[in-house]
């Protein structure tokens, strides 16, 4: 009897929170803690996976684990991220449903690692093959590149994603990957110029300086010392556990040529050089301050050389700003503060546009080539909800995105739950939950949303500051229940000293976040002076014109570009529409502590995340109708031993079997409901009762099995003893009778009989052993190996003891296509000429009948033709159908000479003037001499001993008009 494992077997705590009893916040946290302490980092809420970051490596992602979860029911094994990935992949492959996997949680909760695990699992279980493996390798190789350019060390995470990534992996009808498309959202480009204390810039800067060769750094005009670059913070340049040099060596930009990689690194170096450019004030006669570059012989020159731009053009762009309005142009000078602003704006735009170009270029390499309809699995790895001491425009945008994801989680979770009850004809009971649509509306409403008001401030004429933006918020949002400022009606600033001036606070679903308005307007404008764009467009670097197309003087656009907030809102809207067209799968990541260390579980921190992720509400929604549901087949298989009528095998419909089972177990009718394909159990206690009865029944069955086994073993032992006693008694009686024989009979008759018997027994045993060994050897043969030996046997019948060269060829396997013409691009032309499968392809020498010299030719043999082609060009010289072949002549010597003779008359055609012969040198293998006829000439081919000095080839020489002498090696 096979008993399958389940998340209910050997369970630490409760594997599915839906079954938690009693259900409250304390028991929820305690269950997570209990499982976390026993290295069980995954827990279910129905089909939702809760993932706790262990901050260490665990042996639960091995190839054996992949095979264990492959093609298994979701609840069949203990909770794991592989179970969710397998469920999503099989639904996509077998049911043709597009899938999306939404990974959410705070920064540092393990979202990026979770997305890698999902992709690596799908890559491991999908199809194999050269092309499929190539696509999988390209998809997996895109991760290190995007992490190097888009991730950074923060206070909460050593590998924090500072951009949002959504990848659509495309599959064919068989479930094999065809390619992918990556979408990126809002790179935190302000990090290029300034990082908070304890954090550092993007990984690529440190990886380049640590891991690049000395020769590469010399070409890029860089130094390994981090302290020489103003854009690199020094207090956390080196991170424990991060090997920047090793990481740089693993970064392979998918599908990039060497020149493109060098161009990318040159721009990274240029950004570092930009940060070292400094300015000095210079007063003009008119009283206006003007800025000038301090160092004209150092960093500026090197940066200009990297970008291929004239130094004077760049310096002027840093000193002047040209404003165009209709047909008028006006040039103003920039003071030192404005010059530094322009420098940083250029650095941020250069790096941000380089990152977007990288994503686009990677998409070109990994996109699906086939134009047929694809099955799609989307994996969303986007920045987590952030609450810092100082929150600015970036955190506001990031948290808005998380609000949208929380909204879609609520909608799709409830919708999926309700749709399942409708599909199964089960009555649905509504439950109250917090809908964060009111917060999303506060931010994104087109009329009076915060983003709309920010855009309005950025675009209106006159003096616009962050304070005027805050004044507008105070006016319009003053009475909103989720908005607070010192002037709003919801604030309690008289007692709440944490709400300073120039700040506002929003009550997000994850908690209250205080935003400082300083920089909101500038960051939303995302302005780069047109002079700098035009200067970059003039650069001769291969990428600059692609990165700064607006710098083209011939295409000057006076229209203001869309704001950063507007672009992000539009891209998030597209993302939400994309996700709503797919079947959702959720991974909710939680970090157990803020110290980023293993074995620490902070209750208050976990509780906070459980609250704002809405996990308790998720459980209540799941349990509002029925806590547990299972297909009839699985339910009957698991509990059939509880009823005599269903054990050991139920003959009939599975639903009827489940009804008989539950009736026999006296389960109250109000505790379950029958759906179309599933049994629904209302109370977890009912399920636990069935589990306890099953466990007790398994113990009884184990006892029964032990009893029967022990009885069988004892009886078998007794029968063996009884049989042995009979044999011993028989041999003893035989021995006793033999003692009565006379001594003469023993001396004369018995030895001869015994010797004859021994000889016959020995021969029989030898023959038996030989037959056994032969049978065992034959059993190891595969069908392919059998066919090879059959070919060898047939060749033996033809050439053995007839051809001197034959013994040396026995051990050599026949490969057929020795030239690999299908893979060799040199023979592409030949592939088109030969349409059939090539059985034999080798290089031979065609003998010239005039002088006996050889000309190299390609010899191809198919099922219906043999072909001779030119070795260099692949041009077909002769193609002859096999039915036109009359005979093959070879010698008996150790040479590789053979002649092919064509029929003189072909059916249905006029006779040819004379037989046509091809003389070819090829390792093949039956007379000492033979005649060949070329048109009207007859030539005798004679073989003589004593060939060339190397002793391993044959040489042909024309002696006269009638004789062609072939010298072959001596045996």
Question: Are 957 and 968 a contacting pair, CB within 8 Å?
Answer: no
DSSP 941-954: EEEEE---TTSSS-
Tell which wins on pLDDT, 909 or 861: 861
Token pair in block for residue 402: 């998380």
Average pLDDT over residues 135-164: 85
Phi (first) and psi of residue 965, to 5 degrees: -100, 130
Asked: is 203-361+525-565 a CATH 3.40.50.150 domain? The reply is no
Q: What is the CATH number of domain 404-524?
A: 1.20.58.530
Among residues 928, 848, 940, the alpha carbon closest in space to that of 895 is found at: 928
826, pLDDT greater than 90: no
DSSP 777-790: HHHT--HHHHHHHH
Average pLDDT over residues 563-583: 86
By percentage, how much of the chain surpasses pLDDT 90? 19
Q: Rounded to whole angstroms, how far apart are CA atoms 76 and 5?
A: 6
Question: Are 309 and 540 a contacting pair, CB within 8 Å?
Answer: yes
Q: What is the pLDDT of residues 242-254, one digit of tens each?
A: 888 888 887 766 6
- Determine which one of 157, 399, 525, 889 is catalytic: 157
Query: Is 646 marked as a binding-site residue?
Result: no
- Determine which one of 108, 179, 275, 378 is catalytic: 108
- E strand spans, 75-196: 99-105, 151-152, 160-161, 164-171, 177-185
Q: Rounded to whole angstroms, how far apart are CA atoms 348 and 354?
A: 10
Sequence-separated (6 or more) residues with CB below 8 Å from residue 178: 135, 170, 171, 172, 368, 369, 370, 374
DSSP letter (8 states) at residue 514: E
Confidence of residue 592 (pLDDT cuts 50, 70, 90): very high
Among 29-33, 317-321, 808-812, the minimum mean pLDDT is found in 808-812
Q: Rounded to whole angstroms, how far apart are CA atoms 535 and 528?
A: 12
Token pair in block for residue 103: 């990974």
Confidence of residue 924 (pLDDT cuts 50, 70, 90): very low
951, pLDDT greater than 60: no
Confidence at residue 890, expressed as pLDDT on a 0 to 100 scale: 82
3-state secondary structure of 842: strand
Q: What Rg, from alpha-carbon coordinates, does the chain have?
A: 41
- Determine which one of 78, 112, 120, 159 is catalytic: 112
Is 328 part of the annotated catalytic residue set?
no
Question: Are 867 and 878 a contacting pair, CB within 8 Å?
Answer: yes
Query: Is 954 marked as a binding-site residue?
Result: no
Mean pLDDT comparison of 121-135, 142-156, 778-792, 866-880, highest-scoring range: 142-156
Tell which wins on pLDDT, 328 or 532: 532
Is 386 part of the annotated catalytic residue set?
yes
Confidence at residue 204, expressed as pLDDT on a 0 to 100 scale: 93
753, pLDDT greater than 80: no
Conformational region of residue 241, where left means phi above 0, alpha means psi within -120 to 50, and beta covers everything else: left
Question: Are 901 and 887 a contacting pair, CB within 8 Å?
Answer: yes
Average pLDDT over residues 514-524: 89
Confidence at residue 539, expressed as pLDDT on a 0 to 100 scale: 92
3-state secondary structure of 248: helix
DSSP letter (8 states) at residue 109: S
Q: Rounded to whole angstroms, how far apart are CA atoms 439 and 271?
A: 38
Among residues 875, 824, 818, 815, the alpha carbon closest in space to that of 841 is found at: 818
- Tokens 């020094």 label which residue? 234
Q: Rounded to whole angstroms, how far apart are CA atoms 485 and 785?
A: 82
- Determine which one of 47, 53, 78, 107 is catalytic: 107
Confidence at residue 928, expressed as pLDDT on a 0 to 100 scale: 64
Q: At how many degrees (to 10) do helices 258-274 and 203-211 cross?
A: 110
Confidence at residue 491, expressed as pLDDT on a 0 to 100 scale: 57
The full length of the chain comes to: 971
Is 180 part of the annotated catalytic residue set?
no
End-to-end CA distance of the chain: 68
Q: Rounded to whole angstroms, how far apart are CA atoms 818 and 838?
A: 10
Confidence of residue 506 (pLDDT cuts 50, 70, 90): very high
Is 161 part of the annotated catalytic residue set?
yes
Domain spans, the chain: 203-361+525-565, 404-524, 815-968
Token pair in block for residue 932: 């060949």
Confidence at residue 909, expressed as pLDDT on a 0 to 100 scale: 35
Q: Rounded to whole angstroms, how far apart are CA atoms 469 and 392?
A: 14
Token pair in block for residue 803: 């051809």
- Determine which one of 31, 161, 201, 300 is catalytic: 161
Confidence of residue 912 (pLDDT cuts 50, 70, 90): very low
Confidence at residue 696, expressed as pLDDT on a 0 to 100 scale: 86
Query: Is 108 marked as a binding-site residue?
Result: yes
Token pair in block for residue 481: 């229940």
Query: Is 147 marked as a binding-site residue?
Result: no
Question: Are 872 and 829 a contacting pair, CB within 8 Å?
Answer: no
Tell which wins on pLDDT, 267 or 142: 267
546, pLDDT greater than 50: yes
Neighbours of 75 (CB within 10 A): 22
Is 633 part of the annotated catalytic residue set?
no
Question: Are 608 and 590 a contacting pair, CB within 8 Å?
Answer: no
Average pLDDT over residues 9-33: 87
Tell which wins on pLDDT, 390 or 916: 390
426, pLDDT greater than 60: yes
By percentage, how much of the chain surpasses pLDDT 70? 88
- Determine which one of 160, 233, 683, 845 is catalytic: 160
Tell which wins on pLDDT, 432 or 146: 146
Calculate the dihedral angle through the C-alpha atoms of 341, 342, 345, 351, rounding to the nearest 10 degrees: -130
Tell which wins on pLDDT, 815 or 62: 62
Question: Are 307 and 541 a contacting pair, CB within 8 Å?
Answer: yes
Whether pTM > 0.75 for this model: the answer is no
Q: Rounded to whole angstroms, how far apart are CA atoms 634 and 207?
A: 52
- Determine which one of 386, 444, 484, 637 is catalytic: 386
Among residues 934, 822, 838, 907, the alpha carbon closest in space to that of 879 is found at: 838
854, pLDDT greater than 50: yes
3-state secondary structure of 813: coil
Confidence of residue 12 (pLDDT cuts 50, 70, 90): confident
Is 160 part of the annotated catalytic residue set?
yes
Q: What is the pLDDT of residues 666-721, one digit of tens each?
A: 888 878 888 888 888 877 678 778 878 888 888 888 888 899 999 999 999 999 99
- Determine which one of 384, 551, 657, 874 is catalytic: 384
Q: Rounded to whole angstroms, how far apart are CA atoms 408 and 585?
A: 12
Token pair in block for residue 853: 């010299």
588, pLDDT greater than 50: yes
Confidence at residue 748, expressed as pLDDT on a 0 to 100 scale: 57
Confidence of residue 68 (pLDDT cuts 50, 70, 90): very high
Average pLDDT over residues 259-283: 90
3-state secondary structure of 817: strand
502, pLDDT greater than 60: yes
3-state secondary structure of 119: helix
901-909: long-range contacts, CB 8 A cutoff, minimum separation 24:
901/932
Q: Rounded to whole angstroms, how far apart are CA atoms 475 and 569?
A: 23
Question: Are 901 and 932 a contacting pair, CB within 8 Å?
Answer: yes
Sequence-separated (6 or more) residues with CB below 8 Å from residue 605: 591, 592, 593, 594
- Tokens 């030969």 label which residue? 834
Rounded to an integer, what is the distance from CA 184 to the centroid of its chain? 18
In the chain, % helix, strand, coil (3-state, to 5) comes to 45, 20, 35
Confidence of residue 934 (pLDDT cuts 50, 70, 90): low
Q: How far is CA 506 from CA 54, 327, 385, 432, 557, in A?
A: 31, 44, 13, 23, 37
Phi (first) and psi of residue 611, to 5 degrees: -70, -55
Confidence at residue 918, expressed as pLDDT on a 0 to 100 scale: 47
Average pLDDT over residues 467-473: 89
Confidence of residue 905 (pLDDT cuts 50, 70, 90): very low
Is 283 part of the annotated catalytic residue set?
no
Q: What angle do CA 54, 60, 66 make, to 5 degrees?
A: 140
Question: Are 165 and 249 a contacting pair, CB within 8 Å?
Answer: no
659, pLDDT greater than 60: yes
């Amino acid at each position: 009897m096979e008993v399958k494992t389940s998340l209910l077997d050997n369970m630490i705590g409760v594997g599915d929170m839906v079954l938690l009893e009693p259900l409250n916040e304390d028991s929820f946290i305690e269950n997570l803690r209990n499982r976390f302490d026993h290295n069980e980092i995954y827990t279910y809420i129905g089909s939702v996976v809760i993932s706790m970051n262990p901050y260490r490596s665990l042996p639960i992602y091995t190839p054996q684990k992949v095979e264990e979860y492959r093609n298994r029911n979701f609840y069949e094994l203990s909770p794991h991220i592989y179970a969710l990935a397998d469920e999503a992949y099989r639904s996509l492959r077998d049911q043709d449903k597009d899938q999306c996997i939404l990974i959410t949680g705070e920064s540092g909760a393990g979202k990026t690692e979770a997305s890698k695990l999902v992709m690596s699992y799908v890559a491991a279980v999908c199809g194999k093959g050269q092309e499929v493996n190539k696509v999988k390798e390209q998809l997996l190789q895109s991760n290190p590149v995007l992490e190097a350019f888009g991730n950074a060390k923060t206070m909460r995470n050593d590998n924090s994603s500072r951009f949002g990534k959504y990848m659509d992996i495309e599959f064919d009808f068989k479930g094999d990957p065809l390619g992918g498309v990556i979408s990126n959202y809002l790179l935190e480009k302000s990090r290029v110029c300034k990082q908070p204390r304890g954090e550092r810039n993007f990984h690529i800067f440190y990886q380049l300086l640590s891991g690049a060769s000395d020769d590469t750094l010399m070409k890029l005009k860089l130094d390994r010392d981090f302290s020489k670059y103003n854009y690199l913070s020094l207090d956390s340049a080196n991170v424990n556990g991060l090997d920047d040099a090793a990481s740089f060596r693993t970064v392979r930009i998918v599908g990039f040529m060497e020149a493109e990689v060098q161009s990318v690194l040159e721009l990274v170096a240029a950004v570092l050089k930009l940060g070292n450019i400094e300015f000095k004030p210079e007063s003009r006669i008119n009283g206006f301050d003007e800025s000038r570059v301090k160092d004209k012989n150092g960093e500026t020159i090197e940066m200009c050389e990297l970008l291929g731009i004239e130094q004077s053009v760049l310096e002027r762009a840093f000193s002047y700003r040209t404003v165009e309005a209709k047909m008028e142009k006006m040039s103003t000078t920039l003071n030192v503060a404005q010059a530094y602003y322009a420098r940083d704006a250029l650095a941020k735009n250069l790096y941000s546009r380089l990152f977007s170009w990288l994503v686009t270029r990677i998409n070109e390499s990994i996109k699906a080539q086939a134009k047929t309809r694809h099955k799609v699995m989307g994996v969303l790895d986007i920045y987590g909800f952030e609450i810092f001491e100082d929150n600015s425009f970036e955190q506001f945008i990031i948290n808005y995105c998380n609000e949208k994801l929380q909204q879609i989680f609520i909608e799709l979770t409830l919708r999926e739950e309700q749709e399942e009850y409708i599909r199964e004809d089960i009555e649905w009971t509504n439950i109250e939950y917090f809908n964060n649509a009111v917060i999303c509306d506060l931010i994104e409403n087109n009329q009076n949303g915060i983003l709309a008001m920010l855009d309005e401030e950025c675009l209106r004429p006159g003096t616009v500051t962050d304070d005027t933006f805050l004044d507008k918020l105070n006016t319009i949002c003053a009475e909103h229940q989720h908005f607070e400022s010192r002037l709003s009606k919801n604030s309690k600033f008289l007692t709440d000293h944490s709400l300073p001036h120039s700040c506002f606070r929003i009550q997000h679903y994850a908690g209250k976040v205080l935003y400082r308005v300083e920089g909101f307007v500038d960051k939303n404008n995302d302005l780069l002076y047109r002079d700098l764009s035009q200067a970059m467009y003039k650069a001769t670097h291969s990428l600059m014109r692609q990165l700064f197309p607006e710098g083209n003087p011939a295409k000057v656009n006076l229209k203001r570009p869309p704001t950063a907030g507007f672009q992000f809102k539009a891209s998030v809207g597209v993302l939400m529409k994309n996700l709503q067209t797919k079947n959702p799968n959720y991974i909710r990541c939680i970090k157990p502590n803020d110290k980023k260390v293993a074995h620490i579980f902070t209750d208050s921190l976990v509780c906070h995340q459980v609250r704002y992720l809405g996990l308790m509400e998720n459980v209540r929604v799941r349990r509002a109708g029925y806590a547990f549901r299972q297909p009839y087949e699985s339910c009957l298989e698991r509990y059939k031993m509880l009823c005599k009528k269903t054990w050991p095998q139920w003959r009939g419909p599975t639903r009827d079997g489940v009804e008989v089972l539950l009736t026999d177990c006296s389960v109250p009718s109000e505790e379950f409901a029958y759906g179309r394909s599933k049994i629904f159990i209302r109370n977890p206690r009912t399920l636990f009762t069935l589990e306890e009865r099953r466990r007790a029944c398994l113990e009884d069955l184990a006892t029964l099995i032990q009893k029967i086994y022990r009885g069988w073993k004892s009886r078998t032992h007794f029968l063996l003893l009884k049989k042995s006693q009979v044999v011993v008694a028989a041999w003893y009686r035989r021995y006793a009778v033999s003692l009565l024989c006379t001594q003469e009979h023993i001396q004369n008759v018995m030895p001869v009989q015994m010797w004859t018997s021994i000889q016959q027994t020995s021969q029989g045993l030898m023959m038996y052993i030989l037959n056994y060994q032969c049978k065992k050897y034959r059993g190891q043969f595969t069908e392919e190996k059998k066919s090879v030996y059959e070919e060898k046997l047939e060749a033996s019948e033809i050439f053995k003891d007839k051809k001197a060269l034959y013994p040396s060829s026995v051990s050599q396997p026949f490969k057929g296509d020795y030239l690999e013409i299908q893979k060799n691009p040199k023979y592409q032309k030949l592939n088109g000429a030969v349409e059939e499968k090539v059985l034999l392809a080798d290089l031979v020498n065609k003998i010239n009948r005039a002088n006996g010299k050889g000309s190299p030719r390609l010899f191809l043999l198919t099922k219906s033709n043999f072909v001779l082609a030119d070795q260099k060009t692949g041009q077909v010289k002769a193609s002859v159908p096999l039915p036109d072949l009359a005979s093959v002549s070879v010698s008996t010597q150790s040479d590789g000479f053979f002649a092919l003779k064509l029929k003189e008359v072909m059916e249905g055609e006029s006779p040819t003037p004379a037989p046509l012969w091809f003389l070819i040198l090829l390792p093949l293998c039956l007379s000492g001499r033979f005649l060949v006829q070329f048109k009207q000439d007859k030539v005798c081919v004679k073989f003589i001993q004593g060939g060339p000095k190397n002793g391993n080839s044959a040489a042909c020489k024309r002696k006269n008009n009638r004789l062609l002498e072939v010298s072959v090696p001596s045996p």
